[in-house]
Amino acid sequence: MAKLADPNRREDILQAAREVFKQNGYARAHVAEIAQLAGVAKGTVYLYFASKQAMLDALCDSYQEMVADALLQAMQNPDARTTIKEAVHAVLAVASRERDLLELLDLRLGLAAGGAAIENPRGQKILRRFFRERVANGDMRDYEPVIASELTGGFVQWIAKLCLLWRHLDISRYEDTAVRMLQEALLNKNNTKGG
């Protein structure tokens, strides 16, 4: 009878990979170090992850799930204006708290064949639904939901990378401006006043 994979062991390996990537950088990280930190044999790592790249992908996917969860929570507010503010804040808070995962996501983008964008499918689905619903009830301008969600999500992720990874700027200053810009660009005139 085949032994079933232990989800706790998988998580231990993933957390060890995160720590080794954080301390050594992805390029200098070795599976043997990850295995040692996780308290497993090197071969055991390969039972759960086919490669170091697979661990990177799993960590990036977990970051994107955190972002999607934050978006979903922010989307609960019935006021579109407040939702935009809360969504931007929530995504930037995840990025600030999980900076090392944001850095891995940026690295994965660079490693992607041809520089292809790696999107957050669940996050994009949440944003598209938000755009469709808010356009339908008249709160927002009539933009194509797929494009609007990609542009909006990309804009906020770019701010996170600019402030947290590339230039180390005060993210709160960018957050306030981004919220105002998005509210002005997305909301119908009757929803653009206020704070």
Give the pLDDT score at 2: 44
Give the pLDDT score at 191: 60
pLDDT truncated to tens, each residue of the chain (195 aa)? 345 567 789 999 999 999 999 999 999 999 999 999 999 999 999 999 999 999 999 999 999 999 999 999 999 999 999 999 999 999 999 999 999 999 999 898 877 754 455 578 899 999 999 999 999 999 999 999 999 999 999 999 999 999 999 999 999 999 999 999 999 999 998 765 544
Give the pLDDT score at 92: 97
CB 132: neighbour CB atoms within 10 A? Answer: 15
Whether residue 78 is found in the same domain as residue 133: yes
Whether residue 31 is found in the same domain as residue 89: no
Q: Which residues contact 188 (CB under 8 A, 6 or more apart)?
A: 138, 139, 140, 141
- In the block, tokens 């797929």 appear at 146
What are the residues facing 108 on neighbouring strands? none
Whether residue 108 is found in the same domain as residue 67: yes
Structural domain range at position 64? 57-191
CB 13: neighbour CB atoms within 10 A? Answer: 25
CATH number at residue 19: 1.10.10.60
CA atoms within 13 A on the CB side of 128: 11
Give the pLDDT score at 47: 94
pLDDT in tens, 4-30: 567 789 999 999 999 999 999 999 999
- Spatial separation of the C-alpha atoms in residues 28 and 30, rounded to whole Å: 6
CATH number at residue 94: 1.10.357.10
Whether residue 5 is found in the same domain as residue 29: yes
Whether residue 116 is found in the same domain as residue 143: yes
Whether residue 69 is found in the same domain as residue 40: no
Per-residue DSSP letters for 126-159? Answer: HHHHHHHHHHHTTSB----HHHHHHHHHHHHHHH
Residue 194 CA: distances (Å) to CA of 57, 137, 152, 177: 41, 20, 21, 14
Whether residue 130 is found in the same domain as residue 154: yes
Q: How many domains does the chain have?
A: 2
Whether residue 77 is found in the same domain as residue 138: yes
- Spatial separation of the C-alpha atoms in residues 88 and 101, rounded to whole Å: 18
Tell me the pTM. Answer: 0.88
The answer to whether 186 touches 81, Cβ cutoff 8 Å, is no
